[in-house]
Structure 1
Amino acid sequence: MQRFAFVVDMVPERREEYLRLHAAVWPQVEAALSAHHITNYSIFQIEDTLFGYYEYTGDDHEADIAQVDADPVMKEWLAHTDPCQVPFGREARPDDRWRRLEEVWHLA
């Protein structure tokens, strides 16, 4: 199992829209993630910053993520959620969106 963590900022004017969408994530989105070995997915919020975490139980993370990204329902979901987000941090590029965090420490 691999752990992945990401961070992104919300567009303040779209915070409520983003939170509303995630209060009722589409079942097809959850199914697509689960089908591609993504488990224990959580998103946390502090002010306008989001922290996402999931565990990956498959053998080829890049291939599974590519399949998730190609899923038509996921594309539609992201069409709703992506405009609510801006990259986190001073050094972020516009295409960074959710920036991956490097694990520094873990207690098993």
Structure 2
Amino acid sequence: MAIKVVVEFQAKPGARAELKSLLANISATHGSQAVGFLGSTQYEVLDNPDGLVEIAEWESAEAQAAAVEPATVTGVYAPVSELVAAPFRATRIGHGS
């Protein structure tokens, strides 16, 4: 079952554009190599100048989990931590059966 992963970020003050660019680059560079990755889009939060939301689409929860663990271990996401003011929040959603 296809899923979406909604990730909410709070960038450091003034770093939202840089964070948005970094996330798009990670998706383009590493996402294209991940089995089951269908794409992602970053959205600016309208009522929060440092808020950013990324919505990624995956073929399945298993494909997403299988891709995220090695990327985390190898440090693909490490530069993101330098641009965020707080831990991100990720929610996996899908159509019910």
Tell me which residue corresponds to 1:6: 7
Q: How many residues align?
A: 89
- Residue 20 of structure 2 contacts residue 42 of structure 2 at CA under 8 Å; is this kept in 1? no
- 2:50 equivalent to 1:48: yes
The structure whose residues are more often helix, as a share, is: 1
Preserved contact between residue 3 and residue 61 of structure 2 (Cα < 8 Å)? no
Question: 1:9, CA displacement in angstroms?
Answer: 0.5
Cα–Cα, structure 1 residues 50 and 32, in superposed 2: closer, same or farther, change >3 Å? same
The alignment status of 1:63 with 2:73, answered yes or no, reads: no
Deviation sequence 1:42-82 (CA, Å, 0-9, x none):
1111221011101111562322211222345x2xxx33332
Give the Å deviation of 1:7.
Answer: 0.5
> What stretches of structure 2 of length at least 5 have no aligned partner?
none
Identity fraction in percent = 15
- TM-score normalised by length of structure 2: 0.66
In the alignment, residue 65 of structure 2 is paired with which amino acid? E
Structure exhibiting the larger radius of gyration computed from Cα positions: 1
SS of match in other structure, 2:52: strand
Which residue is 2:28 aligned to?
30
5+ long unaligned stretches in structure 1: 88-96
What's the Cα RMSD here?
A: 2.9
